[in-house]
Amino acid sequence: VELTLGRVMACAAVGAAGSVGSYVAWPGLVGPHAPRATAHTVQGVLTVLTFVQSVMWMDLAAGELVGLFAAIGRISGMSESLLGATVFAWGISVGDMVSDTTVARSGHAATAVAACFGGPMFNLLMGLAMGLVVATGANGTV
């Protein structure tokens, strides 16, 4: 994945359109004196625009991180796939750690301990199962 001027411009264009559209449309279309149907429609459009913009920014950031780790792997002589899998696993685990810590601090220690084992096991089993389903669908029996 490569950072191109087109990708950056697309992200900037969607962001600018959302910002300008929100600023211009908010008082007249969503404000207290706006018709209810119009306000509902505008909120729906802005929600979709925000979702598209978020996906574009995540794609851009993910592409840059992949490029960064590929460069680190080449420079240090490490296997790019090993480095990518390690960083990917760490990134997935941080969210689990934060949520498990929050659950434990709220007084549900047994649930947090179960989630420590259940979350990674679910990710492993579903990831393996989906990979095998795709491989079987593409190549027949594995």
Q: What is the pLDDT of residues 69-123, one digit of tens each?
A: 888 888 988 887 788 778 777 877 888 889 999 999 999 999 999 998 988 888 8
Mean pLDDT for the chain overall: 82
Distance CA 44, CA 34 (A): 15
pLDDT score for 142: 62
When pLDDT is cut at 50, 70 and 90, the band that residue 4 belongs to is confident
φ/ψ of 115, rounded to 5, equals -70, -30
C-alpha pair distances (Å), 46 with each of 19, 39, 79, 122, 135? 10, 11, 43, 34, 39
pLDDT score for 104: 94
